[in-house]
């Protein structure tokens, strides 16, 4: 993990494909484990959560085509591999967060990579919302407190997303050790603030599969569009308030 400003291994394609449904369930933005364990399929306890919006709801920022591949193939592949690797891991399937932490502590890298990617993607979908980008007053006050201004915070997040070399994630987090001060950090590959004593609030996926069909190599355009038009700041504030 790097605290931004900071400037990866190649992505693996997974074989299992899950069709993306046209009907979507409403998802509580603040509950990661309840989404990931909403049902228990035959092949394991970790499931692919339904998107909290229609496949075309994020257009034109993120196309239905990108969303279909990203959620129905990449995310689904991580779910399938997590369940496969979990079977012989000796780790109890209590919650997704516990699996991620236990895999990290026990240095089970394959399981960690896949379970953490499930967690990261779950939060990514919840970090986006149609017609997003509006920041509630309470969050504006916190961003101004910790970054100097709302614009400075947004710029720091955009720079973090752009400067994350190769594959990874750009996060807005709260640091419980510093009275829940807001910080912006980036992580490589499947790494997640969940294992670093930080509280994830929002995340932008900057693996190429998140944006390449729509933006090719223009990651900066993707990051700016997501921040300005899709980020769900209300959900971030709700997560922060749950930790208080």
Question: Could you report the per-residue pLDDT of 209-242, keeping only the tens digit for each?
Answer: 999 999 999 999 999 999 999 999 999 999 999 9
Q: Was 186 annotated as part of a binding site?
A: no
34 pLDDT higher than 90: no
Nearest to 61 by CA among 233, 220, 214, 236: 214
205 known ligand binder: yes
Every domain range in the chain assigned CATH 3.55.40.20: 137-243
CATH number of 137-243: 3.55.40.20
For the whole model, what pTM was predicted?
0.83
DSSP 73: I
Cβ atoms within 10 Å, residue 5: 11
Which of the 8 DSSP states describes residue 22? S
Segment 96-134, tens digit of pLDDT = 999 999 999 999 999 999 999 999 999 999 999 999 999
State pLDDT tens for residues 131-159: 999 999 999 999 999 999 999 999 999 99
Q: Is residue 209 a known part of a binding site?
A: yes
How crowded is residue 24: how many other Cβ atoms within 10 Å of its Cβ?
Answer: 15
Among 63-67, 84-88, 92-96, 160-164, where is mean pLDDT lowest? 92-96
Name the residue among 98, 128, 204, 120 with its Cα closest to residue 159: 204
């Amino acid at each position: 993990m790097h605290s931004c400003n900071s400037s990866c291994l190649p992505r693996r394609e997974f074989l299992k494909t899950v069709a993306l449904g046209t009907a979507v369930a409403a998802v509580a933005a603040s509950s990661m484990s309840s989404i990931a364990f909403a049902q228990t399929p035959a092949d394991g306890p970790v499931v692919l959560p339904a998107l909290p919006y229609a496949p075309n709801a994020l257009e034109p920022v993120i196309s239905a085509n990108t969303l279909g591949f990203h959620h129905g193939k990449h995310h689904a592949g991580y779910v399938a591999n997590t369940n496969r690797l979990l079977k012989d891991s000796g780790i109890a399937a209590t919650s997704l967060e516990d699996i991620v932490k236990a895999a990290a502590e026990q240095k089970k890298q394959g399981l960690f990579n896949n379970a953490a990617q499930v967690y990261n993607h779950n939060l990514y979908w919840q970090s986006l919302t149609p017609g997003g980008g509006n920041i509630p007053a309470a969050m504006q006050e916190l961003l101004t407190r910790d970054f100097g201004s709302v614009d400075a915070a947004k710029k720091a997040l955009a720079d973090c997303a752009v400067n994350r070399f190769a594959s990874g994630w750009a996060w807005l987090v709260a640091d419980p050790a510093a009275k829940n001060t807001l910080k912006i950090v980036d992580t490589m590959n499947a790494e997640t603030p969940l294992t670093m004593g930080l509280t994830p609030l929002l995340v932008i996926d900057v693996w190429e599969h998140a944006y390449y069909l729509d933006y090719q190599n223009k990651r900066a355009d993707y990051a700016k569009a997501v921040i300005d038009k899709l980020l769900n700041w209300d959900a971030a504030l709700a997560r922060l308030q749950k930790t208080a």
